[in-house]
Amino acid sequence: MSRSIFTAAAVAALPLLLFPFVLHAGAAGKGDNKPQQSRGEQVFAQNCSRCHVPPMSIPPRVTGTILMHMRTRARLSREDEQALLHFMAPK
């Protein structure tokens, strides 16, 4: 298989693969900002799944440590880290 055929196939396949998802995402519209969603929940939903399956639970006594690690790795702001702490380990 030549390089050009492979590239053409890749370029052609991508829109076909993505088209239904783009349509679906667009049709879903702007109902994204659920008013009941806390800032911590929003930060969690927006950031964790960018790289991995979000964890279902983390023991509260290590949540601070894990979020320091994730703040560095994901380059989160201090405000996002605080929002996640309140969401993942409420008092």
Binding site for another protein (CB under 8 A): 1, 3, 6-7, 10, 13-14, 17-18, 21-22, 24-25, 27-28, 30, 32, 46, 49-56, 58-69, 71-80, 82, 85-86, 88-91
- Least distance (Å) from another protein to the CB of residue 63? 4
22-to-1, 15, 19, 25, 70 alpha-carbon distances in Å: 30, 9, 5, 5, 29
Q: Which is nearer to another protein, 41 or 82 (CB)?
A: 82
Residues ≥6 apart with Cβ < 8 Å to 54: 44, 48
Residue number with CB closer to another protein (35 or 53): 53
- Cβ count within 10 A of residue 70: 17
Residue 51 CB, shortest distance to another protein, in Å, is 5
Give the nearest distance from C-beta 3 to another protein in angstroms: 5
